[in-house]
Amino acid sequence: MKLILLGAPGAGKGTVAKLLTEVDGSVQISTGDILRGAVRAGTELGKKAEAYMKAGDLVPDDLIMGIMEERLQEPDCAKGFLLDGFPRTIPQAEALKKLLEKIGAKLDFAVNLDVPREVILDRLTTRRTCSNPDCQAIYNVKSNPPKVEGVCDKCGSPVIQRDDETEEAISKRLETYNEKTAPLVDFYEKEGLLLNINATSSDVVVQTIKEKLGIA
Ligand code: ADP
Ligand code: ZN
């Protein structure tokens, strides 16, 4: 499957993408994960991206398109991909459209995970992430805590709060989302690709996507 996952920070794009990879082996491509990896590794890209990310601002479009041009042409994408956190702006969506035409890939849907704002705010402030870059399991202190507090169930590494998940950075990210990313819903509606889903449960989202793809 070839999908874009749209939705506010905390809408569950990463969780849904992980569940979908298990359906047919399509790869999850998260620009947020790629960027955090680059920051940790101290690469040129990481140095350029770090300050924007800490502040909850978007990284410039040209940096993101540079990453995605390469990533989408890697062999593992031929089978299918789940774009998680990309595109985030109208210019990125337009550039993606050209890139997909160039490489001859056709999207199935742009899935919009529609979640009420109160739910988003609550999830983001209570979200915790495994600090191991190869794991990055997601927890929630209220609804899905690790079995041992602060320790990842899967790999035993410390479970932490991301530095862009302070209250200030969260409200900035939501503001950035409303201003820059929410317009993509209309963009994909016009493209005839939009699949809007009320997304309070990830399992229901996955089921709905499978039904629409005819693989349920
Ligand atoms: P979120 O949980 O807010 O959806 P992500 O993990 O997708 O967060 O992204 C974290 C940060 O990385 C963003 O706040 C932004 O600074 C940067 N980022 C990720 N993807 C993009 C993108 N497609 N365009 C611009 N910036 C991006
Ligand atoms: Zn872990």
CATH number at residue 85: 3.40.50.300
Return residues with CB closer than 5 A to ligand 2 (ion).
130, 132, 135, 137, 152, 154-155, 157
What's the helix, strand, coil split of the chain in %, to 5?
50, 15, 35
In a domain, 147, yes or no: no
pLDDT at 216 over 80: no
The verdict on pTM exceeding 0.85 is yes
Q: How far is the CA of 130 from the centre of ligand 2 (A)?
A: 5
Interatomic CA distance for residues 153 and 137, integer angstroms: 9
Ligand 1, from 72, 173, 178: best to mutate by most atoms within 8 Å of Cβ? 173
In a domain, 51, yes or no: no
In a domain, 61, yes or no: no
What percentage of the chain reaches a pLDDT higher than 70? Answer: 100
Whether the CB of 65 sits within 6 Å of ligand 1: no
pLDDT at 47 over 90: yes
**Residue 28: strand pairing partners:** 82
In a domain, 9, yes or no: yes
Q: Phi and psi dihedrals of 171, rounded to 5?
A: -65, -35
In a domain, 56, yes or no: no
What integer pLDDT is reported at residue 124 of this predicted model? Answer: 87
Range of the domain at 181: 2-26+79-115+174-213
Q: How many domains does the chain have?
A: 1
In a domain, 42, yes or no: no
In a domain, 109, yes or no: yes
Q: Is 182 exposed, middle or buried (0-12, 13-18, 19+ CB in 10 A)?
A: middle
Whether the CB of 80 sits within 6 Å of ligand 1: no
What percentage of the chain reaches a pLDDT higher than 90? Answer: 80
- What are 157-198's pLDDT values in tens digits? 999 998 878 888 888 889 999 999 999 999 999 999 999 999
